[in-house]
Amino acid sequence: MEKFSIYAPRLVNPEENIAPGHRACIGCGEVLAVRYALKALGPNVIAANATGCMEIISSCLPTTSWKIPWIHVLFENASAVISGVEAARKVLARRGKIPPGRVFCLAMGGDGATSDIGLQSLSGALERGHDFLYICFDNEAYMNTGVQRSSSTPYGASTTTAPPGKLSVGQWSQKKNMAAIAAAHNIPYVATACSSYPFDLMAKVKKAAEVKGPAYVHVLSVCPTGWRHATDITIQMGRLAVESGIFPLYEVENGRYKLTFDFPKLRPVKQYLKLQGRFRHLKDEEMDKIQKQVDKEWLKLKSLVGMAGEKKPIQVPAQVQAPAKVKAQKKTRTTRPTKKTSRPSRKRGRK
């Protein structure tokens, strides 16, 4: 944080590319993240925005909050649309129809438009190598349509389509790791960010946009409405998610993992969970289960970064070790029986 120890406003673009007066909920962490991202990108950007919270709150006719070229598209095709924009600009520039110069192509959507409905078009755009940036603003459910579960909803959370009960803990599956899925496409840049860390978010978005080729940034967007917590603790909730290891911040540059914030000791996940109504039904044993899963994923991430400390020998399962053990026994034998042992006739035992 040394580079941020000077007068902070001088480090930030003062221009606002999303105007105030929109209809976002009080304490919305997602619109804050959008504001920071657009500050990092500047005015030379074309955006394709999948259906979701940001589209609904910003474009109610006859008004709009967008000060950049902005296209509202369907849940499933934001990546496909921005791929066409990027390809068309290349052709027009080659034919001299538009002036040369870099214009950032941005696709953005929520977790539903990214990890569920729009995953196919996103994967295709990443694989084809289009020069664009995709930002997922992840509030961990379909908040715009009534807090339905998505594949990004964390284990144990209560939603309208995964309610807790006698036979249900709420959301039954683990949160999909979209950043790892994007990194598996071998693209130049992947990062995670959170609006509770604004300078880190803006720096990562700017780096991602300047990369030649596809880039992906996954932003945790705290949602007081869907998470059911006080509207004045949005920043605190984002910091707790990071400091507990539930949502670690890291980068993947050309396949190399780099942890943004490392902590000598993670905060207990209970400090994060107990502030949210969506986890109110969880018993201590379920919270302990979540803690174990978070610890496991944190160690896995640190091993990818190369910060896990002393390397331990790989523990091979017993069934894999068995052949080596048998081989060792054969080497220690000094004699072998020379006579065949008599065996009872098979006919004799038959009835």
- What is the average pLDDT across 250-257? 96
Decide if 197 is inside a domain.
yes
Domain count, the chain: 1
Question: What pTM value is reported for the model?
Answer: 0.85
176 in Cβ contact with 152 (< 8 Å): yes
**176 within some domain:** yes
Grouping H, G, I as helix, E, B as strand and the rest as coil, residue 265 is coil
Using a 10 angstrom Cβ sphere, with 0-12 exposed, 13-18 middle and 19 or more buried, the burial of residue 207 is middle
Q: Which residues contact 184 (CB under 8 A, 6 or more apart)?
A: none
Q: Is residue 325 part of a domain?
A: no
**Domain containing 218 — which CATH number?**
3.40.50.970
Show the CA angle centred on residue 226, arms to residues 225 and 231, nearest 5°.
35
Model confidence over 12-63: pLDDT tens digits?
Answer: 888 999 999 999 999 999 999 999 999 999 999 999 999 999 999 999 889 9
Query: What does the alpha-carbon distance between residue 247 and residue 112 come to, in Å, rounded to a whole number?
Result: 18
pLDDT at position 13 is 84
Residue 346 lies in a domain: no
Position 121 pLDDT exceeds 60: yes
The CA-atom distances, in angstroms, between 173 and each of 106, 149, 153 are 30, 10, 8
Would you state the pLDDT for residue 61?
86
For residue 270, name the pLDDT band (cuts at 50, 70, 90).
very high
Instruction: Note whether residue 314 is domain-resident.
Output: no
The residue whose two tokens read 């569920």 is 116
CA distance 79 to 119: 9
**Distance of alpha carbon 51 from alpha carbon 24, whole angstroms:** 15
Its domain, for residue 242, covers 12-305
Pairing of strands 189-194, 215-220: parallel
Place 75 in a pLDDT band, splitting at 50, 70 and 90: very high
Q: Is the pLDDT of residue 229 over 50?
A: yes
**Tokens 């908040």, residue?**
143
CA atoms within 13 A on the CB side of 196: 20
Q: How far apart are CA 92 and CA 98, in angstroms?
A: 6
Residue 322 lies in a domain: no
Asked if residue 1 is part of any domain, the answer here is no
199 found inside a domain = yes
Compute the distance between CA of residue 291 and CA of residue 299 in angstroms, rounded to an integer.
12
Task: Encode pLDDT of 309-347 as tens digits.
Answer: 444 443 444 443 434 343 434 444 444 545 444 554 554
Average pLDDT over residues 253-259: 95
* 9 — pLDDT class (breaks 50, 70, 90): low
Checking if the pLDDT of 164 tops 60, the result is yes
Does 80 have pLDDT greater than 60? yes
Please name which of 322, 309, 153 lies closest in space to residue 223, comparing C-alpha atoms: 153
Label residues 312-331 b or e (16+ Cβ within 10 Å = b): eeeeeeeeeeeeeeeeeeee
